[in-house]
Amino acid sequence: MLEHKETPGLGSQISDVEYEQTESAFLSQFKGKIARDIVLVKGETKDNIQAITGATISSRAVVEGVRQGVEKFLKIKK
């Protein structure tokens, strides 16, 4: 994520890095996922991407963008 204009404390959590962490907790959920697991879930999940409470639209936008990017990459790679 290069930039966003989300509400501080809500949508900004997509890129917020907590104290003593090196990356956003939200974005770190994408690591090691395969394309079919890039799905937004509103509750607890280990297999998919958990939405940020109060920022479902922001979460959905990021997940959809990443998923589409992965799908396009995989088509080109083939």
- Dump the DSSP string for 52-63: PTT-HHHHHHHH
pLDDT score, position 4: 78
Report the predicted TM-score, pTM, of the whole model to 2 decimal places.
0.81
Amino acid in position 48: N
Residue 16 vs residues 26, 45, 75: alpha-carbon distances, Å: 8, 20, 31
Q: Residue 72 pLDDT > 70, yes or no?
A: yes
Q: Are 49 and 30 in contact (CB under 8 A)?
A: yes
Q: Residue 1 pLDDT > 80, yes or no?
A: no
Q: What is the DSSP letter of 3?
A: -
Q: Residue 68 pLDDT > 70, yes or no?
A: yes
pLDDT score, position 50: 94
Q: Are 37 and 67 in contact (CB under 8 A)?
A: no
Rounded distance, CA 78 to CA 75, Å?
5
pLDDT averaged over the chain?
Answer: 89
Calculate what percentage of the chain has a pLDDT beyond 90. 60
